[in-house]
Amino acid sequence: MNLRLRRKPNDKWTLARAALELANAANGVRPLARNGYLSIPVFAFGWPTTELAPFYLTASAADALRRGIRGDFASRRGRLALLLHAVSWGLLALLTRRNVASEPYFDAGLKEALGENYREIAATSQPAQQARKHAGVVGTGLSRRRYVEKTESISYGPYGGANLADIWRRGDLPRDGKAPVLLQVPGGAWTIGMRRPQAYPMLSHLAERGWVCVSIAYRVSPRNTWPDHIVDVKRALAWIKENIADYGGDPDFVAITGGSAGGHLTALTALTPNDPDFQPGFEDADTSVVAAVPVYGRYDWFSTEGRGRREFMQLLSWVVTKVGLTKGRQLYLDASPIKRLRADAPPFFVLHGTDDSLIPVPEAREFVDALREVSNSAVAYSEIPHAQHAFDIFGSPRGHYTAEAIERFLSYVQARRHVTAEAIAPSPSRQP
């Protein structure tokens, strides 16, 4: 009879593995670096850990049970490794609790800017369909199949795959329904621009509520050079104004949102309506929006001092603009939303996380303060404690809270516009 020799556990690897798991959990609780190029891997590992902590916790505990039965923790080093695992599980549980408990912070900024009764006003908007249940991570990931038909992936411009868009809408939405419209601009450091799978929690939530959402791709660097990125966003807006009625959308109510680089493009688009410099060949097109929701965006392209600014300016000059700040200063200023503030800006809702290791939260605060000093419209700001960059992408609690807060803000804007339109419309007795 052949007997298999039982493999002796590698104590050093067992301990190293536990230490790495603990470091990853600790990085989720508090980013291990917020400056320099090290902040990029800190974000890359900390972001999914922060948003998907329950999955990490379940997988780690199940694997530890398997290895414990095998005897991996029987030695002195093994017992120490098990202790490290236990500490990491505690940190992952803390991350889960933080995520679930973050909902009031999304609402607080809206109440401050719009009033304590803003929810009641938002509920009077059209449409006001029943809110969906949270789909979870898996359900959210599959939501595009539910809301985007094959015939509703369209081309809005002449640049092939870079000018494609998905139209998110309920299948039973009337083609003449005049539903409110939202343009979603993806992030990716102006070098990626993938419309899939960004903002799926928000897109599916709004589509279920009866909105029409347009999620676009756009030309990115280094193959393309600024301002090609913003030109494509403007081109998409022009397409929406001309064509969205065919899909049941209202061309007179088009809002815009986006995260990271998409947040920058969102803010800049909203603050430069019909700017011919960003509309070559379609200067007469209407590219105004009724509201803007930039999420963890960049609003300053010219400052050189501060955490992460050196690396950011290198990215811009080497990859995006391909010209240095000294030589191309006006280009950098024109591309900075904080330098394009205006009294007639549309309502804004800005969101940012305090643990963002890529774009420091003070940049969002500075932009909001400056915009509030100039704009005659509402400027709401929600700062989310412990949230990393890109906290809205997964179907995590924060992802769904973001979707719901954005919908409430936009519904509030639509409801107020509807009331204003009714107030200024002539009564039937006065009509000729």
Per-residue pLDDT for 431 more than 50?
no
How large is the angle between the packed helices 11-29 and 53-70, nearest 10 degrees?
160
**Cα–Cα distance measured from residue 28 to residue 42, given in angstroms and rounded to the nearest whole number:** 9
In this predicted structure, what is the pLDDT of residue 284? 96
**Cα–Cα distance measured from residue 174 to residue 179, given in angstroms and rounded to the nearest whole number:** 9
Do residues 197 and 286 share a domain?
yes
Q: Which of 34-48, 122-136, 265-279 has the lowest mean pLDDT?
A: 122-136
Sheet bearing 348-353, strands edge to edge: 153-155, 164-168, 212-216, 179-185, 249-259, 292-295, 348-353, 379-384
For 299-307, what is the mean pLDDT?
A: 95
* CATH at 310: 3.40.50.1820
Last residue of a domain, one of 81, 99, 117: 99
In this predicted structure, what is the pLDDT of residue 158? 96
Count how many domains the chain has.
Answer: 2
DSSP state of 337: G
Last residue of a domain, one of 35, 67, 99: 99
In the structure encoding, which two tokens stand for residue 162, read together? 């870079």
Q: What one-character-per-residue DSSP string does 246-289 give?
A: GGTEEEEEEEEEEETHHHHHHHHHHHSTT-GGG-TT-TTS----
Is residue 349 in a domain? yes
Size (the chain), residues: 432
In this predicted structure, what is the pLDDT of residue 427? 47
What amino acid positions are annotated as catalytic residues? 260, 356, 389
Last residue of a domain, one of 74, 99, 124: 99
Do residues 33 and 179 share a domain?
no
In the structure encoding, which two tokens stand for residue 260, read together? 């990271």
Do residues 81 and 149 share a domain?
no
**Cα–Cα distance measured from residue 274 to residue 285, given in angstroms and rounded to the nearest whole number:** 7
Nearest in space to 395 (alpha carbons), one of 144, 55, 141, 213: 141
Per-residue pLDDT for 236 more than 60?
yes
**Structure confidence by residue, pLDDT tens digits, 392-424:** 999 899 999 999 999 999 999 999 987 665 554
Is residue 1 in a domain? no
**Cα–Cα distance measured from residue 80 to residue 82, given in angstroms and rounded to the nearest whole number:** 5
Is residue 3 in a domain? no
Q: How many CB atoms lie under 10 A from the CB of residue 63?
A: 14
Query: Which amino acid, 385?
Result: P
First to last CA, the chain: 104
Domain that includes residue 383, residue range: 102-424
Sign, CA dihedral 395-401-402-404, equals positive
In this predicted structure, what is the pLDDT of residue 94? 98
Do residues 65 and 117 share a domain?
no
Q: Report residue 5's pLDDT band, with 50, 70 and 90 as the boundaries.
A: very low
Is residue 257 in a domain? yes
**Cα–Cα distance measured from residue 234 to residue 284, given in angstroms and rounded to the nearest whole number:** 12
**Cα–Cα distance measured from residue 221 to residue 190, given in angstroms and rounded to the nearest whole number:** 6
Nearest in space to 298 (alpha carbons), one of 163, 188, 216: 188
Is residue 6 in a domain? no
Do residues 250 and 275 share a domain?
yes
DSSP 3-state of 379: strand
In this predicted structure, what is the pLDDT of residue 1? 43
**From the centroid of its chain, how far is CA 431?**
45
Q: How many CB atoms lie under 10 A from the CB of residue 216?
A: 27
Is residue 165 in a domain? yes
Per-residue pLDDT for 130 more than 80?
no
Do residues 311 and 351 share a domain?
yes
In the structure encoding, which two tokens stand for residue 102, read together? 């973050």
Q: Which of 93-102, 137-146, 232-241, 398-407 has the lowest mean pLDDT?
A: 137-146
**Structure confidence by residue, pLDDT tens digits, 152-186:** 789 999 999 999 999 999 988 998 889 999 999 99
Is residue 430 in a domain? no
Do residues 274 and 371 share a domain?
yes
For residues 36 and 259, the model is more confident at 259
In this predicted structure, what is the pLDDT of residue 164? 96
Do residues 37 and 185 share a domain?
no
